[in-house]
Amino acid sequence: AQSVTQLDSQVPVFEEAPVELRCNYSSSVSVYLFWYVQYPNQGLQLLLKYLSGSTLVKGINGFEAEFNKSQTSFHLRKPSVHISDTAEYFCAVTETGANNLFFGTGTRLTVIP
Amino acid sequence: NAGVMQNPRHLVRRRGQEARLRCSPMKGHSHVYWYRQLPEEGLKFMVYLQKENIIDESGMPKERFSAEFPKEGPSILRIQQVVRGDSAAYFCASSGQLPSTDTQYFGPGTRLTVL
């Protein structure tokens, strides 16, 4: 069965500092991985996704993530955060042929001026 | 180029009433998904539909909940005889192709409050 773990429920970070949001998954088959961002009272917006190929995936707003199959991880990183990055971030996984996404419980990123 | 549209954005119901949530997918998309987000939790899959067909409803509660995606018009998520535990944000997503590889685009959600 699939599952997604986001160990950090809240991550405060100072403006212009780097940040890493952790995501680990479990699955017995090949997976596709996604990071979504949710701003207050809005829907989810796709940041980036990994389907195949290069394990380093670049997304919008300067974010990137690295797929590590041996560690079953897909951590999200940004070298320098802005105030506007304050939001909830969700990691999601789906398996080949599946009909839906499995989401983690989210990480609330707060950027401190 | 309109995205996924949901209405209403906020819905208040008293216990025992019915709630109808509507979702219009992105233009050209024929796959619709409904997810529920309880407070302080991630999104949980409810149902996956294509036009006039329910493909996967493994995440739907067995009673009181139903969904449809008619040939014409938006997809509807219907909750009968709502209870306080139904209070949540309900998100609709759509995709143009196979759900496992194609990006799902999310609407802004409907926040249901049951009094």
At B84-99, the pLDDT tens digits run: 999 999 999 998 876 6
CA-nearest of A112, A111, A108 to A8 is A108
Pairing between β-strand B110-114 and β-strand B10-13 as defined by DSSP bridges:
parallel
- Closest chain B residue to the Cα of A38, Cα to Cα: B108
Residue in B6, B56, B100 nearest the CB of A96: B100
Q: Which residue has the higher pLDDT, A24 or A28?
A: A24
Residue in A32, A44, A96 nearest the CB of B91: A44
Average pLDDT of the residues in B5-26 = 96
- Closest chain A residue to the Cα of B31, Cα to Cα: A99
Q: Hey, which residues 4-43 in chain B have their CB within 8 Å of chain A?
A: 4, 6, 33, 35, 40-43
- Tracing tokens 């954005």 back to the chain, one arrives at B9
- Closest chain A residue to the Cα of B109, Cα to Cα: A43
Our CA-based measurement puts residue B106 at a distance from the nearest CA of chain A, in whole angstroms, of: 6
Contact across the interface for A36 and B59, Cβ inside 8 Å? no
Contact across the interface for B48 and A99, Cβ inside 8 Å? yes
Average pLDDT of the residues in B47-63 = 92
Position A31 scores a pLDDT of 86
Average pLDDT of the residues in B25-48 = 90
On the question of pLDDT at B41 being above 90, the answer is: no
- Tracing tokens 């992105």 back to the chain, one arrives at B26
Q: How confident is the model at residue B59 (pLDDT cuts 50, 70, 90)?
A: very high
Average pLDDT of the residues in B28-57 = 91
φ, ψ dihedrals at B84, nearest 5°: -60, -35
Pairs of CB atoms within 8 A across A/B: 66
CA-nearest of B48, B80, B91, B19 to A42 is B91
Our CA-based measurement puts residue B104 at a distance from the nearest CA of chain A, in whole angstroms, of: 8
- B1 near A CB under 8 A: no
On the question of pLDDT at B1 being above 60, the answer is: no
φ, ψ dihedrals at A7, nearest 5°: -70, -30
Pairing between β-strand B19-24 and β-strand B65-68 as defined by DSSP bridges:
unpaired
φ, ψ dihedrals at B86, nearest 5°: -80, -10
